[in-house]
Amino acid sequence: MTSTLWTSAEIAAATHGTASADFTVSGVAFDSREVGPGDLFLALKGESTDGHRFLDQAFAQGAAGAVVSDPTDHPSIRVADTTGALNVLGAASRKRSSAKIIGVTGSVGKTGTKEALFAALDRIDPGCAHRSVKSYNNHTGVPLSLARMPRESRYGVFEMGMNHAGELARLTRLVRPHVAIVTAIAPAHLGFFDSVEKIADAKGEIFQGLGAGGTAIVPFDSPYRDRLLDAARPYASRIVTFGLGEGADYRAVETMRARSGGTFVMARYGNRELSFTISQPGEHWVSNAMAILAAVDAVGGDLEVAGLALAEMGGLAGRGARMTVSVGDGTALVIDESYNANPSSMCATLKVLAAEPGRRVAVLGEMRELGTHADALHAELADPITQAGVSRAILVGEAMAPLAAALEGRLDFVHVADAAAAKAALESTLAPGDAVLIKGSNGVRLATIVAALAERQSCSI
């Protein structure tokens, strides 16, 4: 039996709206395509569309009620501003909740860390953990994720993103986390900032939402560690660090590639040690795992059970999911990193590719939002690609031109305009035994290549 998330009376009270009927809802959505039976549909008005146009569709799909600013015959709560109502509904959900709340941000690794934290907490207390889905981490995604949090939740994990200064400060004050994590700092969204130091400052805003007794979790190995520590001190009652370097509070002291392809880790924190396996390969996942241990410990969770969850966690679509596909009379490995890309994540996933046997093929899409640094940062990928032992590279997008020039004479590559041309180039070269990395900014649409390859998938890993 589905529990009641909100009653119409509660929604009206939170939003200062007027209810046209009594109803209860079990979910919340603002995208009509995502509405399911029993959901509340928020008819948001944006620059290019108006949710009120999709009210009939939402109710045809089973919506139990809607939040509107225009008149409608459907069961609804009428408010002056539906976007404002979404924010106050999120705030009301946070106010009524007694859950331990964890906020996660970072230039790279925040979605994977959020998902792994949820998996760990759900394993510790089944059915009592909640998290933001997909990458709902902006000014609409965060309040939506809060509004969806069941009132009986014991844990909540919320991803928060930004591409301008001040955005995280607003989001974290809405989430009000008990624990706030910065996974890593990298030159992502550098087109919107003067320097990576400014990116670190913007990410450090997450600590401003911490209340009394709050814990800040900071990457020890980051060159911006001290900057983040300074950002945390005015707000955090407790600050801990994580990483691989000696001196980190939660530290991976030994690592070894596991037979499964993941990583066996021995972690040390205080005078305690824990050995476990991470199902996902790569040093970046080892670092993320230390942040996860720190957060689980901060909310009083069982770290041994968290370790079991990390061992069982599957790859995320677009963020490291693996599959084997049929090629001729054999198979090839495909590593799906198609959701996003920046210089740090490119280097991290190229290291993962380097550990795979067979011929290594890299389909790399351009990295976006790098501003005036774009040419240099693309060209600097030449060494990591070469060091990964890539035999053939397929470079996708106009911004990849500096990298193409840097790779000239170093390895076999082709530079193409778009994902369709990249798909054709890959199909013409793919051979049994290949290991293929597909990674680029989401707008390059390399996920279409992954989708095409999935049609001949033999198994996922």
Q: Assess whether 253 and 372 both reside in one domain.
A: no
Q: Which of 362, 335, 348, 350 is nearest to 286 (CA)?
A: 348
Give me the pLDDT at residue 243, please: 98
User: In angstroms, rounded to a whole number, what is the distance separating the alpha carbons of residues 174 and 329?
Assistant: 55
Three-state DSSP state, 281: coil
Q: Assess whether 149 and 216 both reside in one domain.
A: yes
- pLDDT tens for 60-80 read 999 999 999 999 999 999 999
Phi/psi region, residue 318 (left: phi>0; alpha: psi -120 to 50; beta: rest), is left
Residue partners of 410: CB distance under 8 A and separation at least 6: 382, 386
Domain C-terminal end among 35, 67, 86: 86
Domain C-terminal end among 62, 86, 110: 86
Host domain of residue 326: 321-460
- In angstroms, the Cα distances linking 267 to 50, 182, 301, 313, 429 are 50, 19, 16, 18, 42
- pLDDT tens for 200-236 read 999 999 999 999 999 999 999 999 999 999 999 999 9
DSSP-derived secondary structure for 192-254: GSS-HHHHHHHHGGGGGG--TT-EEEEETTSTTHHHHHHHHTTT-SEEEEEESSTT-SEEEEE
Is residue 153 within 8 A of residue 128, CB to CB? The reply is: yes
Looking at residue 424, the DSSP 8-state letter turns out to be H
Sign of the torsion formed by the C-alpha atoms of 178, 183, 184 and 190:
negative
Q: Assess whether 165 and 67 both reside in one domain.
A: no
Q: Assess whether 270 and 142 both reside in one domain.
A: yes
Residue partners of 249: CB distance under 8 A and separation at least 6: 220, 240, 241, 242, 269, 270, 294
Q: Which of 167, 184, 161, 177 is nearest to 212 (CA)?
A: 177
CATH number of the domain where residue 433 is located: 3.90.190.20
91 lies in a domain? no
1 lies in a domain? no
CATH number of the domain where residue 31 is located: 3.40.1390.10
Report the DSSP pairing between strands 238-243 and 215-219: parallel
Q: Assess whether 145 and 15 both reside in one domain.
A: no
Three-state DSSP state, 170: helix
Give me the pLDDT at residue 135, please: 77
425 lies in a domain? yes
Is residue 275 within 8 A of residue 315, CB to CB? The reply is: no
Domain C-terminal end among 312, 338, 367: 312
pTM of the full structure: 0.89
* pLDDT per residue of the chain (461 residues) written in tens, 0 to 9: 468 999 999 999 999 999 999 999 999 999 999 999 999 999 999 888 899 999 999 999 999 999 999 999 999 999 999 999 999 999 999 999 999 999 999 999 999 999 999 999 999 999 999 999 877 899 999 999 999 999 999 999 999 999 899 999 999 999 999 999 999 999 988 888 999 999 999 999 999 999 999 999 999 999 999 999 999 999 999 999 999 999 999 999 999 988 878 999 999 999 999 999 999 899 999 999 999 999 999 999 999 999 999 999 988 888 889 999 999 999 999 999 999 999 999 999 999 999 999 999 999 999 999 999 999 999 999 999 999 999 999 999 999 999 999 999 999 999 999 999 999 999 999 999 999 999 999 999 999 999 999 998 865 55
Q: Assess whether 68 and 125 both reside in one domain.
A: no
Q: Assess whether 167 and 208 both reside in one domain.
A: yes
Q: Assess whether 115 and 40 both reside in one domain.
A: no
Give me the number of domains the chain comprises.
3
92 lies in a domain? no
The Cα diameter of the chain in Å comes to 71
241 lies in a domain? yes
Q: Which of 272, 340, 261 is nearest to 303 (CA)?
A: 272
CATH number of the domain where residue 174 is located: 3.40.1190.10
Q: Assess whether 32 and 168 both reside in one domain.
A: no
Is residue 299 within 8 A of residue 306, CB to CB? The reply is: no
- pLDDT tens for 84-125 read 999 999 999 999 999 999 999 999 999 999 999 999 999 999
Give me the pLDDT at residue 1, please: 47
Q: Assess whether 63 and 107 both reside in one domain.
A: no
Q: Assess whether 328 and 307 both reside in one domain.
A: no
